[in-house]
Amino acid sequence: MADLASERLWLPCHHVPVVTMDSSNAPDQLLRAQLMQVLSGIEPWDDQEQTHLAATAEWITSGAPLYRTLKPATPAKHLVSYFVVLDETREELLLVAHRKAGLWLPNGGHVEPTEDPWHTVRRECREELHIEAVPASIIGDRPIFLTVTRTRGQGQHTDVSLWYVLRGEAGQVASFDEAEFDAIKWLSLDQVLATPEGALDPHMHRFARKLMSLLALRRSKR
């Protein structure tokens, strides 16, 4: 996550170029079909997410490269898996203070070539928080949110990020990757929304509102 988060001063990105797919590559087509199935499970929260989902579907089916193969920005658009550890009882989530970015961020990292994005979450969770990834009951091992963002600064590129939610308990994380993070903290969703947007991932407030809505819906059904 080090090189990923250090670039995170973003602008929304709505345009995705179309590239003709090579129909002779069956394994590649299978991976793209699996990603399209993942996208189909995400219910858009707002018009921006609807735009991002449509653009991402176009990108995946275009045949364009999907995975970062060379740091920091080759290809110029690539997949990322984000994950937020959620205490479902207290409705608090974990953010990390990233050393290079100077921002409070969710955990996550680049999806490796041919890697399932959920496997990226499992790998990064062990590496960064030293715990096993357990899907939150509210969504399971599917992403809850998708964003497409253009980085700024050196090595500009576009991150296509799938956001996952993991189950945890406040205080559960006893250690973390101190080479990447200065600190970690648990915040209520209201505290997240009270934090200035400039201190967070630029989509963090939107994510928090979507998660709040889903949690409220679940409470209403009990």
Contact 99, 183 (CB under 8 A): no
Give residue-wise pLDDT tens across range 169-192.
988 898 999 888 999 999 999 999
Show Cβ contacts of residue 55 under 8 Å, excluding neighbours closer than 6 positions.
13, 14, 15, 16, 148
Average pLDDT over residues 128-148: 97
Pure H helices in the chain: 2-5, 26-40, 47-62, 117-129, 189-194, 204-220
Is the distance from CB of 122 to CB of 108 less than 8 angstroms?
no
Compute the average pLDDT of residues 189-202: 96
pLDDT score of 4: 55
**Amino acid identity for residue 114 in this structure:** T
Distance between CA atoms of 45 and 206, rounded to whole angstroms? 8
| Band (1; pLDDT cuts 50, 70, 90) | low
* pLDDT at residue 12 greater than cutoff 80: no
Whether the model clears a pTM of 0.85, i.e. scores above it, the answer is yes
Q: What is the mean pLDDT of the chain?
A: 88
Lowest mean pLDDT, pick from 55-59, 73-77, 154-158: 154-158
Residue ranges and CATH numbers for the domains of the chain are 2-220 (3.90.79.10)
At 219, is the pLDDT very low, low, confident or very high (cuts 50, 70, 90)?
confident
Percent of the chain with pLDDT over 70: 88
Task: Express each pLDDT in 55-70 by its tens digit.
Answer: 999 999 999 999 999 9
Would the pLDDT of 16 be above 60? no
At residue 206, the pLDDT reads: 98
How many angstroms separate the CA atoms of 30 and 65, rounded?
14
